[in-house]
Amino acid sequence: MIAPEGVLARFRLDGKAALVTGAGSGIGRAIAEALASAGAGVVLCARREALLADVKAGIERAGGRAAAAPGDVGQRDALADLAARAAKPFGAIDIVVHAAGLNHRQHADDITDAAWDEQLEVMLSAPFFLSRHLVPGMKAKGWGRILNIASLQSYRAFPNGTAYGSAKAGVVQLTRHMAETWSRHGITCNAIAPGFFQTPLTAAIYADKERIAFLEKQTAIGRNGDVADLQGAAVFLCSPASDYVTGQTLPVDGGFTAK
């Protein structure tokens, strides 16, 4: 029988280097803070440097290790440089979390070419192409973790979510394909599908109190999520504790999709 401390040790990330995109706020920030608390050196990526500085300072005050690597994952030709910069503070990246996202919330009749392309580039293309830049370093170690962020809209159609939902539906299948391709090298790929969480991306929804109350009733638990609810799942899927889990999407939605 494994001693309890042996089990807990499998959730530790000491000596691991993680890159988290979208780390300036919301889900990305919460996951970055969780990985740092588990012992990883975390490289924070987002477009706004001031937000990254704040997250970095908070992690360091809590005794963790963090570095900032500002960048726009929607610029595909800049991803190789981002991957190279991310490897400098703590060594070759072991873990990448693709949390960058945006949602223009346009009706299907009104989606512009630019809005469609931007959403798919940030939330579907960037997770693949950035991961591909990082995979050689993971292969060299024989170990790696890729964590994608899916959505309730990976499975359900919500109003004004055609582009966003299409990107997030693609994330689920991309996760399977990445797992099929790279898991034999010790690199697992999984995704989290969050329910409704209060973040800058969902500010417009949370401004509608009646809608938020309705969504709470749609969960089995009876409340919408707090970003801290995602942290345990993220650490699990990024740690040795999940060695035999790959190609899966885990809804963290209070039972929204169970009803």
pLDDT recorded at residue 1: 53
pLDDT recorded at residue 204: 80
Q: What domains sit in the chain, N to C, each tagged with a CATH number?
A: 4-253 (3.40.50.720)
DSSP letters along 203-259, please? HHHHT-HHHHHHHHHHSSSSS-B-GGGGHHHHHHHHSGGGTT--S-EEEESTTGGG-
Model confidence pLDDT, tens digit, residues 83-111: 999 999 999 999 999 999 999 889 999 99
Q: Out of 155, 164, 206, 244, which one is annotated catalytic?
A: 164
The reply to whether 164 belongs to the active site is yes
**Cα–Cα distances in angstroms (integers) from residue 44 to residues 28, 115, 244, 250, in the given order:** 9, 25, 27, 23
Model confidence pLDDT, tens digit, residues 32-83: 999 999 999 999 999 999 999 999 999 999 999 999 999 999 999 999 999 9
